[in-house]
Amino acid sequence: MTNASAALPPRVRFPGLDSVAFEHPGDRAALETLRKTPGLDKLFRWLSDVGAERMLRLQFTADSLRVSPRQCRRLYNDLREACAILDVREPELYLTQNPYPQAFAFGMQRHTVVLTTSLVDLMTDAERLQVIGRQLGHIKAEHMLYSTMARVLADLLREATQFLTVPGAAVSQGLLIALAAWFRKSELTADRAGLLVVQDPECCISSLLKMVGGSHRMMDDLNPHEFARQADLYEDLDDDLVSLYYKFKLFKNQTTPFPAVRAREIEDWSRSAMYQRLLQGDYPRRTASAGQRTCPECRLPVFNVTYQYCPDCGAPLPPVMPEFTV
């Protein structure tokens, strides 16, 4: 499998991009349901205040590599490029030794992205960039409060279940199931953000394929499109109540959707009119003036970030300057 980045044209950037441009509707609906849970926001913020986020940050500061211009510079350059494309303020990035290929983001006071060494070894340059873009998608879509505290709360509830009354155990189990359901939907939003960064759906699907069954000996024999078709086989198992019951038992506490379903979602969204409009510079912005340029000749405003020449007079336009913190 060749490095996808070698064949790609310069990637489009999205100054002022609002997360509603790529949020999956299922993610938005599940998050709104969670936000309506009485007291949940206060509980999560209290957990953060008592040091849950600090504990995670202390762990990675003490036992991992913090990526910077002077440490793992290639990874740092990937982070800078992904931040510039999505217009995200630069988070902290850590590389940690782990035999399992994983990536995740946490933190509300200070956003942090963590990659494992096995993931970096497994991915091509473009796939690695896509993985970083996925985590930035979580940050931009404001998943951090729920994703950070849900991890902590899930551990607390599982340990405390044996001490709870029957009604308390039922409520805590229902909350865990709701959190897991939202986590699965949030991954679909993050996948879209990863696609916006690399702008190559095959690269996104191949990274998922490697996470599921990646082997260095089999790299040249992996078929991303065939992998996406597995989603149809998965959905064919909905034919009877027994299969539906086992699906529920298997996935009720799982925080990531079935990878083949994610692959098919990426394929479908990459063919959508919404995605094509994004690449053409037509997308929701945080402010009306984000990405706006003024033609140096006719002085008229130009809002489409992909234009290199003024649509009115044809004069060359100045480059779009992304607004992100280095």
Pairing state of beta strands 65-66 and 92-96? Answer: antiparallel
| Residue found by looking up tokens 């991890």 in the block | 151
- For residue 34, the model assigns a pLDDT of 74
Largest Cα separation within the chain, whole Å, is 74
In angstroms, the CA 149 to CA 44 distance is: 6
Angle between helices 166-198 and 25-35 (to 10 degrees): 150
Series of mean pLDDT values for 10-residue runs along the chain (326 residues) = 53 92 88 73 68 78 92 96 95 94 86 95 94 96 78 64 52 69 89 97 91 73 74 62 60 68 92 94 79 81 70 74 42
- For residue 83, the model assigns a pLDDT of 96
Within 10 angstroms of residue 191's Cβ, the number of other Cβ atoms is 27
Report whether 237 contacts 126 (CB < 8 A): no
Angle between helices 166-198 and 73-86 (to 10 degrees): 90
Using alpha carbons, select from 82, 318, 32, 319 the residue that is nearest to residue 197: 82
CA torsion angle 298 300 301 302 (round to 10): -60
Q: Does pTM top 0.85 for this prediction?
A: no
- Measure Cα distances from 173 to 7, 41, 200, 258 in Å: 48, 18, 39, 22
